[in-house]
Structure 1
Amino acid sequence: MFWHVPGFSAASPVDTILDKENFKLEDLLDEDEIIQECKALNTRLINFLRDKVQVEQLLRYIVEEAPEDAEKKRIFRFPFIACEIFTCDVDVIMKTLVEDEDLMNLLFSFLKPDHPHGTLLAGYFAKVVICLAMRKTLQLVHYVQGHPEIVSQLVDLIGITSIMEVLIRLIGADETMYSSHADSMQWLDDIQVLEMIVDKFSTSDSAEVHANAAEILCAVTRYAPPALAAKISSPSFVGRLFQHAFEDSRPKSVLVHSLSVCISLLDPKRLVSASYQAFRSQLSHGTLVTASPETVNGMLDSLGDLLKLLDVSSAENVLPTTYGSLQPPLGKHRLKIVEFISVLLSIGSEVAETRLIQLGAIQHAIDLFFEYPFNNFLHHHVENIIGSCLESKQDHLIGHVLDECKLVTRILEAEKNSALSSDLTKHTLSTEGRCPPRIGIVGHMTRIANKLLQLANTNIMVQSYLQQNSDWIEWHTSTLTKRNALENVYQWACGRPTSLQDRGRDSDDEDFRDRDYDVAALASNLSQAFKYGIYSNDDIDEAQASLERDDEDVYFDDESAEWLALYKFQLVCI
């Protein structure tokens, strides 16, 4: 497919169709070059497509399901091409749509309850509406304000991810929508859109609905109009969330996603899904919701009921695993509660810290850490809990972890009995008749122990506690020191450039920088191997010839060295 350049190529197939006397819209939609001609602003084509009759037909392809006996191009191609025409950023076509009430009614008829809502057409509908939101913002706002039932219809279809994305745009949880129209957002608060969304936790049993509702609310916590930001962070709204979560017979997904919203209120920078990242980079200004002391207190009121759900003693379900069995499995809801505790500790609220100590939340989380030795998600959150306590410089938190939770004692006991237990009273059991595997928390315990050693240099309380524990001193001398030396990758024989440690990092570079091997050295070693004929495959003679020059004359940066190493590995494997 090539761009049409007048004077240098044959006439466009689209122009050939337009030259005919009796052609139809379908003839154009069936032509491969129609999208590129739209983007090239083909005047004859645009003048034809901007007509109301043609725009109406394009909309019908998007919002109306094809008959059962329709051809495949009617089912798949025509809706796709129609959507692409609307999103080609041709102003006159969009203007025809937004300035005609009947056409807008046809577009949003897709949301009616008696209308089929297939995910394919829902995606095309969402793309067109989002394009309108970006290009014709004010006109779209005025139309939706005049038809408030649209918002409730969107909320009813919140289980469809593309519809959820439309709702995120409409309620202003994204800068591209209302950066210049903040005054027009008050009507959303008047129709109580947030209440409609949060009530989906109570009226629907679908996990997809709960997940999408939570994602919208989390988006509001990160970027929202002031009125919505104030409402979502209010204690009454938090109480409404927990009220739905604790209702009898509600699915566990309600609790999980309600806690996701609370976590986002406490830490708005957290991301809960990939779809939000799609426009994350566009957010540069707006209202970032922060949890006030009143909001935190509203969450603490329900903390006692949450901790009751962490109790696994009464659960009877058993989950077989490759290493044994879990009786019961931890479950997503308990994992989310532990994450919630971790975030609560990270915000530096003395009220939250005191409440967590009083209710035994930290101790309960540490108990689960040792009871489920193969749940790495749990271990990550509990390690963060312990790190927040130890780094808080609050004696009551540090003392609680060391004395009441007996952290050091539990680590030493787990080190002595590092094989998975077969005790039937435990929640994680090894398979009978097989050698029990080693518990999977040793790495986390090592990091926690090293954190204690680091803090002992600056914290007298930690230093005194460790010095008085003879078992700790013995384990540190005989085990931890040797383990740290063994796991120090910078001391390995293969080596690792210290420049990697000092070089600036960013989120796009982390995987490349976190390699535990020296790529430049690896490439150099392979060069030597090729030079001295270790690999004698006839197919790599050409590669050997290119390596006959002195290796000292070649400079390897990390990227080029990595490429060369991988290239040589491929040659070896031929």
Structure 2
Amino acid sequence: MFWKLTSLSASSPVETILDKENFTLEELLDEEEIIQECKALNSRLINFLREKAQVEQLLRYIVEEPPQDADSKRAFKFPFISCEIFTCEIDVILKTLVEDEELMDLLFSFLEPNRPHSALLAGYFSKVVICLMIRKTAALMNYVKGHQNVFCQLVDLIGITSIMEVLVRLVGADDHVYPNFLDVMQWLADSNLLEMIVDKLKPSSPPEVQANAAETLCAISRNAPSALATQLSSPGYVAKIFGHALEDSHSKSSLVHSLSVCTSLLDPRRSAVSSSMFNSYRGQHMFESPVPVSPETIGAMLPKLNDLLMLLTVASDSTVLPTTYGELRPPLGKHRLKIVEFIAVLLKTGSETAQKELVSSGTIKRTLDLFFEYPFNNALHHQVESIILSCLENKSDLMVNHILRDCDLIGKFLSSDRDSNLSGDSQPTVAASGKKSPRVGYVGHITRISNKIGQLSNSNGQIKAYLQGNSEWNEWQGSVLQERNTVENVNRWGCGRPTTLQDRTRDSDEEDRDYDVAALANNLSQAFRYKIYGNDDNEEDQNALDRDDDVSLADILFPLFFEKSRKLSRHILSHYDTYGGCMLITVCY
């Protein structure tokens, strides 16, 4: 006995269209199941789509802006479906495209300067080109080699993130897509591509152009060793990048992004971890051994250290940032934080020449002063901690003697720990009048650094001799530090908190209450979306902080955290001594 199952025997709607004597490409693109049929390799459908006329029309949907009176299908659906058809990676359709010069010209006509470049179509263009890089590498590279203007047009549109992604692929962020990777990199190095990208770091370029140019250059540095990466790390290009960074003191965006490239040249893995595209490009390189930094590269950076040190001076900056705990006059700013990060990475290279220059210029001493001047900027504290540890762990007696004696590290730590509340007349962080001064936010960092100093004294005679001669340190270490380490020993904690808290009295509204961490995170996220990432063109936001120039993330993270979660903040501050001053804000950042 057999049953007739109508639902299983019914043909696809695409087949119904193909059975017609006269049907159009638009009818197929309007059918919901066309992508599914392409992936299922429907032979009748593919034979139709592989024809030059159909490929040309699909490309026009991707590269040509729809007419102003076009309906939603022409404006949105057809371009999307056309892009999806190409990215199905059907070999015969891609072959029709790459083997026809006119079709390739039509595809890359999207880059022409005398036409609009919407973000929507730029995304579709990027997906198609990257698909060709992966599946038709040789044919695409041969076309690009024969049309040198493609590079210039791509760089001119680098401010569009989708176009930047194409450039990142071209310069070898995914080196496995090139069968002849070394030859391609050499050919790119012989062209003027690198020079054009570096020029986009000029202060006259818009911030989004500078950011995407820096991301592309960082991608090149992560490909070391390659001909293009070697060229970028040459003294000539390093000097040019620093020249753009310091060309205009008012262009902080150019400084930040140029220093990002220099940081990447010193430590490519560092830029890879912070890159938003790292998960997509070269994720396997995170575990590779670092490539030694050329002394010539470091030498080209050192003449500009004095200029960077001048930018760390805040006396001439009149910007004021009000916060819940007081005022910042001025806020540290992203550009100063980037300078400190660059110094920390420069020290980690182990270059003796760089160490001597940093000591003689007073740069390390200045970064240590910033540590105390901005008591709630945990991002800054993290970078300064890295600088301190690099000096202490250094085999050079010069660095250890400088950080301990010239900078008086132990003395500043002990003085700050004795009076750990924010001073009412300190600069540039001024406590709010009429309120109880909060405790400074770097006590946890002091605790961690002090413990590290104690460990290093066991293997470093110079550190050990200095500590033994400091009676105040010995007393503080044996009482305050030891007690703090005992309290912070997580192995003694019960139910996720120190057992000593059981004897403390709590506020009535905090009795047996669990804080909703998810709600807290949501409040914090909403706070960031309000104003900080608002519309820059809104007149109401003109007085808001410029996220690129005037304020760093850490400058506003602390006040927003406490503003949005007052009850939790009271709980944390009431038990602040027990937690040793390690602010929860460090984890949030």
The amino acid that maps onto 2:446 is: M
Name the CA distance, whole Å, in 1 between partners of 2:289 and 2:54.
Answer: 41
For structure 1, which segment, 67-76 or 85-94, has the greater mean C-alpha deviation from structure 2 after superposition? 67-76
Aligned to 2:115: 115
The amino acid that maps onto 2:474 is: I
Q: How does 1:349-360 map to 2 (within 5 A)?
A: 349-360=351-362
Aligned to 1:561: none
Aligned to 1:48: 48
- What's the TM-score, normalizing by structure 2? 0.80
SS of residue paired to 1:320 = strand
Structure 1 residue 337 and structure 2 residue 352: aligned?
Answer: no
The CA deviation at 1:33 is 0.9
Aligned to 2:420: 418
The amino acid that maps onto 1:379 is: H
Name the CA distance, whole Å, in 1 between partners of 2:225 and 2:416.
Answer: 51
The CA deviation at 1:413 is 1.0
Structure 1 residue 213 and structure 2 residue 244: aligned?
Answer: no
Aligned to 1:441: 442
Aligned to 2:311: 309
Tell me: CA distance 1:226–1:288, structure 2 relative to 1, closer, same or farther (3 Å). Answer: farther
Deviation per residue, 1:80-116 (Å, 9 max, x gap): 1100100101000000000111111110010000111
The CA deviation at 1:203 is 6.6
Tell me: CA distance 1:285–1:419, structure 2 relative to 1, closer, same or farther (3 Å). Answer: closer
Name the CA distance, whole Å, in 1 between partners of 2:290 and 2:131.
Answer: 25
Contact 1:170 1:177 in 2 (8 A): no
Structure 1 residue 326 and structure 2 residue 324: aligned?
Answer: no
Deviation per residue, 1:168-219 (Å, 9 max, x gap): 1122232133243432443322321110000011274311111110111111
The CA deviation at 1:290 is 4.2
Question: Is there any run of 5+ residues in structure 1 with no aligned partner, and where?
Answer: 497-574
Name the CA distance, whole Å, in 2 between partners of 1:453 and 1:137.
Answer: 57
Tell me: CA distance 1:368–1:285, structure 2 relative to 1, closer, same or farther (3 Å). Answer: closer
Aligned to 1:542: none
Aligned to 1:483: 484
Tell me: CA distance 1:230–1:118, structure 2 relative to 1, closer, same or farther (3 Å). Answer: same
Structure 1 residue 147 and structure 2 residue 147: aligned?
Answer: yes
Contact 1:222 1:268 in 2 (8 A): yes
The CA deviation at 1:421 is 1.2
The amino acid that maps onto 1:57 is: Q
The amino acid that maps onto 1:251 is: S
Aligned to 1:89: 89
SS of residue paired to 1:296 = helix
The amino acid that maps onto 2:390 is: S
Aligned to 2:31: 31
Aligned to 2:10: 10
Name the CA distance, whole Å, in 2 between partners of 1:13 and 1:285.
Answer: 49
Name the CA distance, whole Å, in 1 between partners of 2:371 and 2:147.
Answer: 52
SS of residue paired to 1:264 = helix
- What's the TM-score, normalizing by structure 1? 0.82
Q: Bigger radius of gyration, 1 or 2?
A: 1
For structure 1, which segment, 287-296 or 100-109, has the greater mean C-alpha deviation from structure 2 after superposition? 287-296
Structure 1 residue 378 and structure 2 residue 393: aligned?
Answer: no
SS of residue paired to 2:268 = coil
The amino acid that maps onto 2:16 is: T
Tell me: CA distance 1:340–1:285, structure 2 relative to 1, closer, same or farther (3 Å). Answer: closer
Aligned to 1:493: 494
SS of residue paired to 1:325 = strand
Deviation per residue, 1:418-476 (Å, 9 max, x gap): 111111x5100111111111100000000011111111222222222222222212222
Contact 1:221 1:288 in 2 (8 A): no
Aligned to 2:22: 22
Name the CA distance, whole Å, in 1 between partners of 2:475 and 2:181.
Answer: 66
Tell me: CA distance 1:39–1:30, structure 2 relative to 1, closer, same or farther (3 Å). Answer: same
Name the CA distance, whole Å, in 2 between partners of 1:456 and 1:121.
Answer: 61
Aligned to 2:574: none
The amino acid that maps onto 1:56 is: E
Contact 1:173 1:224 in 2 (8 A): no
Deviation per residue, 1:324-355 (Å, 9 max, x gap): 11111111111111001101111111111111
Structure 1 residue 430 and structure 2 residue 434: aligned?
Answer: no
The CA deviation at 1:276 is 2.8
Aligned to 1:182: 182
Name the CA distance, whole Å, in 2 between partners of 1:427 and 1:238.
Answer: 33
Deviation per residue, 1:457-514 (Å, 9 max, x gap): 2222222222222221222233111111111111113489xxxxxxxxxxxxxxxxxx
Name the CA distance, whole Å, in 2 between partners of 1:250 and 1:10.
Answer: 68
Tell me: CA distance 1:289–1:244, structure 2 relative to 1, closer, same or farther (3 Å). Answer: farther
Tell me: CA distance 1:249–1:381, structure 2 relative to 1, closer, same or farther (3 Å). Answer: closer
Aligned to 2:236: 236
Name the CA distance, whole Å, in 2 between partners of 1:77 and 1:285.
Answer: 42
Deviation per residue, 1:376-433 (Å, 9 max, x gap): 110000000011111113221111111011111111111111111111x510011111
Contact 1:265 1:289 in 2 (8 A): no
SS of residue paired to 2:430 = strand
SS of residue paired to 1:38 = helix
Aligned to 1:169: 169
Tell me: CA distance 1:328–1:179, structure 2 relative to 1, closer, same or farther (3 Å). Answer: farther
Deviation per residue, 1:532-569 (Å, 9 max, x gap): xxxxxxxxxxxxxxxxxxxxxxxxxxxxxxxxxxxxxx
Structure 1 residue 462 and structure 2 residue 460: aligned?
Answer: no
Contact 1:173 1:219 in 2 (8 A): yes
Count of residues paired in the alignment: 491
Name the CA distance, whole Å, in 2 between partners of 1:286 and 1:33.
Answer: 44
Contact 1:83 1:128 in 2 (8 A): yes
Question: Is there any run of 5+ residues in structure 2 with no aligned partner, and where?
Answer: 498-589
The amino acid that maps onto 2:174 is: D
The CA deviation at 1:263 is 0.8
**Identical residues among aligned pairs (%):** 61
Higher-RCO chain (CA-CA 8 Å, sequence separation at least 6): 2
Contact 1:411 1:445 in 2 (8 A): yes
For structure 1, which segment, 176-185 or 148-157, has the greater mean C-alpha deviation from structure 2 after superposition? 176-185
Name the CA distance, whole Å, in 1 between partners of 2:152 and 2:392.
Answer: 47
Aligned to 1:192: 192
The CA deviation at 1:368 is 0.3
Q: How does 1:96-111 map to 2 (within 5 A)?
A: 96-111=96-111
Name the CA distance, whole Å, in 2 between partners of 1:469 and 1:485.
Answer: 23
SS of residue paired to 2:327 = strand
